[in-house]
Amino acid sequence: MRIAIIGGGLAGLTAAAYLSGNEETAGTVFERSPQLGGRAFTYEKSGFTLNYGAHAVYGIDRHTLHHMEEELDLKFQSKQVDKRKVMYAKHGQLTAAPLDFVNIVKTEVLTPMEKVRFVSEVAAVIGNIHQLKHHRTLGDYLEHSHASADVKELWAHLVCSNFFITPEEARKVPGEVIAEYYHNLFLSQRPVSYILGSWATITGQLVDKIRGNENWEISVKEPVESIVMEDGKFVLRTKTRERLEYDQVVFAMPVQQVVKLLENSPWSASLEPYKDCTPTEVLVYDVGFSKVVARPFHYISDMDHKIFISDVSATDFTVAPVHGQLLQGIAYLNDDFADEEQKKQYLEQKNAQMEALFDTYYPNWRDFVEVKRVSKKAMVASVKNICTNKLLPNRLAGVPFYFCGDGCTGKGELAERAFSSARTVAQALLADNVRIKAYTH
């Protein structure tokens, strides 16, 4: 069975690593960029390792990476964020983030009575009996809830932070999605982990797995430009090759790109509902210091402005030189603007708010900057997980392809959707191959 995997990000590489482990498969991973990893791409500058996209994995011990370690023999270490060093900033004051029962007692974002209410809600989520799962959206639940304004604000802020979206759009996330997400998160002993050595630690091993099978190739800087079917085979044309035949095709790229590639094909109508899915964009402010400027906490989330700063090097010592420090700031962005000038002013305001947060908790930080990168439109996920968007499943009725990566169904958020959907697709393809062989014999 010859398989084409279109997209060399985490999803494409994961699917290829599973498939290439079977001697009866052959295939190609096509990546249009000069490097692999997609938005999980990392690079080094002046001794600092900078990540594109999210740099943390949520619920690593409960989801797909645990299986991948065993099934693909991956070797990597992860370090849990210390929940005692995660703080919320509100009205200029720092207080413990209510991520577990101990911190809920300590936090000042809620009054004693509100803490009792919130603890009961957390217990209901853990017990999978919270009414949230029966509401269409978080906003719908909050409108019907008798909780105080502070408890409602906390729910919106939690969803905003974990789903990488603005507070307005946090209210549009389906209640069922939130209930399942926090059921897993609250139960996990390691809710947020950093992969030591960044994404390159995993992507490098996946690439080695794929290249270990001589029947598989990885082709960078080779975008696929068209797909047709002839005599039961998929015929691909790329930027550099006119005709390549495959038995199966797996899309492992953002759904918007899939829609564009198939727009003139017989399958375009099936992809029509996904054409208007909008990307989740954030402002990312990476800064590396020549020395440790301050280490007040490992993570500070500004509830007033919906921005946060993560001390990446406090959790992953490999990303900064000895005695250095790497911080990453994230600001959630609105995308509803009258014109480009309004958008420009908004981004400048967010940038100023970010630097003000640095000024408050990392005094004189500008004097020690070694590396600085500001990405004003960094995509952290291709599809916003809100009620107005429909997530792309691994298979679509009447469409002969498989789909994995961002926008697909699968447990978890951020990179875990890429891993889980890719693993599911690979297992389905291998199972299909066994059924086909049994039928033909």
pLDDT, tens digit, 9 for 90 and up, residues 288-298: 999 999 998 89
Rg of the Cα atoms in the chain: 23
Residue 197 has pLDDT above 90, yes or no: no
Note the pLDDT of residue 223. Answer: 96
Residue type, 43: Y
Q: Which residue would you say has higher pLDDT here, 375 or 404?
A: 404
The kind and range of the H/E element at 356 are helix 340-361
DSSP β-ladder status, 369-381 and 280-289: antiparallel
* H-helix segments, 195-265: 200-211, 255-261
C-beta neighbour count of 122 within 10 angstroms:
18
Secondary structure class of 39 (helix, strand, coil): helix
List, in order, residues 6 or more apart from 432 with CB less than 8 Å away: none
Q: Which residues contact 54 (CB under 8 A, 6 or more apart)?
A: 164, 380, 414, 415
Bridge-based pairing state of the strands 26-31 and 216-220: parallel
Q: Do 397 and 270 contact (CB within 8 A), yes or no?
A: yes
Say if CB 37 and CB 199 are below 8 A apart. Answer: yes
> What is the CB-side half-sphere exposure of residue 325 using CA atoms within 13 A?
19
Q: Which of these ranges, 138-147, 172-181, 239-248, 382-391, has the smallest mean pLDDT?
A: 382-391
The CB density around residue 423, as the number of other CB atoms within 10 Å, is 23
CB 154 within 8 A of CB 110: yes
In the chain, the percentage of residues whose pLDDT exceeds 70 is 92
Q: Domains of the chain: which residue ranges?
A: 2-42+198-277+385-440, 97-189, 280-381
CA 350/CA 356 separation, integer angstroms: 10
- Note the pLDDT tens digit of each residue in 156-188: 988 888 888 888 889 999 999 889 888 877 777
3-state secondary structure of 403: strand
Neighbours of 171 (CB within 10 A): 22
Instruction: Give 411's pLDDT tier (boundaries 50, 70, 90).
Output: low
CB atoms within 10 A of CB 219: 18
Question: In the prediction, which pLDDT does 440 show?
Answer: 55
Give me the architecture of the 2-42+198-277+385-440 domain, per CATH. 3-Layer(bba) Sandwich (3.50)
Tokens 């015929």 belong to 235
